[in-house]
Every structure is written in C-alpha cells, then in structure tokens.
Structure 1
Amino acid sequence: MSTLDVYVGMCEVRSGKGAQILRSTLGSCVGIGILWPQRGVCALAHCLLPESAVPSTQLSAKYVTDAIPSLLASIGATADHYSELDAVVAGGAFMMPHTRPILHGGIGESNALTAQRLLAEAGIRVIHTETGGHVGRQLSIHCDTQRFVVRSFERVI
C-alpha cells in the first residue's frame, strides 16, 4: 500500500486516516497534532498566531484558540473522548534576528505556550513537544501507525 502525503499549509486544519501522512513545515508558527489511536484518525493544524479576539465559526487554524476546537471537530471528538487523544506540539521558533531583546517573548513562544495551555485545560495528553529555539521544523504524522516525526532544519541567511 502506498502512502499519500497531505500537506497542511499555514492556517489550515486537515484530518487523515489510513495511509495518509499529514505534514507541515513550521518556523514561528506552531503545529498541533492530535492522534486518536482507538479510531485510527489524526489531525494537524498549522497556526499562525496565538489568540483571536473573535472565535471562528468555521474550521480554522489561523489562531491557536480556533485550531484546538477545529482539530477536535475535524475528527469528531467530544469532551467524552479527550482522554483517548494524544497531542504533539512543534514549531514556535524564534526565526527573525533582532538587535534589541524582545520584552514579552516572541510570537513563536506565545503560539507554543497557548497551544500547551489549551490542551492541558481540555485534559488532552501532550506526548511530545519540540518548540522554541532558532530552527525550523517539519512535523509529520503517520495516520496508519499513529506515529509522528519532527525534523529540524537551520534557517539560511
């Protein structure tokens, strides 16, 4: 059986099953993956910013605050299922060089912290985080095996 790569672009949410591999390439954006081994499905969101002032009424991943509910809706998970879910968070790097220190942290750090906070509040177990630093990452989730891979790469100036 051959695999099917499904690229998850900026501000997108995608779900998959079977031989699909969900992939996203991340810098300061954060990737949030949800794995549901009992159902054999998974989902991945590529989030640009941490919080929206107005919640979205559609599947959306522009904001982390919209992405978590969108991920869960895309795989049909309700609060009764949260204990069966595993989450992976990657990205959230500090990719832009600055001559002055940033007083309140960078957008990447805020993205990662918001994702981890919202998953914890929902009671969804985070099994892996790989965030921060000055490297880009690619997050791949293999839906058939419910495994994930995070690859790092240096920013080229």
Structure 2
Amino acid sequence: MNNQDLHVKMCEVRTGSGRQVLRTTLGSCVGIGLLWRGRDLCGLAHCLLPESALRAPAPSAKYVTDALPSLLQLMGAAHADHAEIEAVVAGGACMVQPVRVAPYGLIGEQNARMAQRLLAEAGIRVIHADTGGTHGRQLSIDCHAQQFAVRTFERFH
C-alpha cells in the first residue's frame, strides 16, 4: 500500500492519519509537528512569523501563536490530552544575511523560541528540535509509522 504525500504550505496547518505523510520545506519559517500515538493522528503547521496581537478566526499557521491552538483543535485534543502528544520542531534558520540584526533577534530564531515556549506552556514534550543555523530543512511525518524525519539542505549563494 502506498503512502499519500500531503504538502503543508506556508501558513498552513494540516492533520493526517493512516498512510498519509505530512511534509513541509522550511527556511526561517518554523514547522511544528505533533504525534499523537494513542490516536494514530499527526499534525503539522508551517509558521511564518512568531506572533500576532490578534487571534486568527480560523485554523491558521501564519503565526506560531495561532498554529499550536489550531493544530490541537483540528486534532481534537483537550488540555488533558497534551501529556500524550509529542512534538517535533524544525526550521528557524537564517537564510539571508541581514543588514543589521534586530535587538530581539532574527525572525527564524524568534519563530523557534516561540514554538518551544508555547509547547512547554501547553505541557507538550518536544522529542526533537532542529532549528537555527543557515540551512533549510524538510520536515516529514509518517502518520502510519508515527515517525518523523528532518532533512537539511544548504542554501544556494
């Protein structure tokens, strides 16, 4: 039986199960993957920016602050379920050389920090984090096997 590849685009949040494989390609954006082994369910968000002052009305991953609640909602996870869910965080690279670095850090670093902070606050254990640096990443989650893979690639100059 073949796997069904589901590409998660920028600012998108998706869930998967069965033979589906969730996949996204990241630079300074951060990917948040959730594995809920007890329910054979996975989720993946491709986040562009760390936070917004306004809460998105629909499931969204433009901001990290919207992505985690959106993923949990789509997966049907209540707060009591968070201890059963594991997370993978990838991306947050510096893909372009900044003219000057903002006092609060590069956008990729901010994305990764926000994802880690929100997962910790939600009580969701991060089982793998691959963030920062100057290389892009592809994050894949095999929903059937409940396994993830992070592949790195160098930017072209």
Calculate the TM-score normalised by the size of structure 2: 0.98
Tell me the amino acid that sits aligned with residue 17 of structure 2: K
Q: Against the structure 1 CA distance between its residues 97 and 65, is the aligned structure 2 distance closer, same or farther, given a 3 Å change threshold?
A: same
Q: Supply the distance in 1 between the matched residues of 2:99 and 2:47 (Cα, whole angstroms).
A: 26
CA RMSD of aligned residues (A): 0.9
The residue number in structure 2 matching 1:118 is 118
Tell me the amino acid that sits aligned with residue 81 of structure 1: D
* Residues 1:152 and 2:152 are matched in the alignment: yes
Query: Sequence identity of aligned pairs in percent?
Result: 62
Q: Counterparts in 2 of 1:105-144, with a 5 A limit? A: 105-144=105-144
The residue number in structure 1 matching 2:5 is 5
Tell me the amino acid that sits aligned with residue 58 of structure 1: A
Deviation sequence 1:88-114 (CA, Å, 0-9, x none): 000000111134444321000000000
Tell me the amino acid that sits aligned with residue 138 of structure 1: Q
Unaligned 5+ segments in structure 1 are none
Unaligned 5+ segments in structure 2 are none
* Residues 1:77 and 2:77 are matched in the alignment: yes
Q: Supply the distance in 2 between the matched residues of 1:74 and 1:15 (Cα, whole angstroms).
A: 7
Deviation sequence 1:103-146 (CA, Å, 0-9, x none): 32100000000000000001000000000000000000000011
Tell me the amino acid that sits aligned with residue 109 of structure 1: E
Could you say what secondary structure the match of 1:38 adopts?
helix
* Residues 1:27 and 2:27 are matched in the alignment: yes
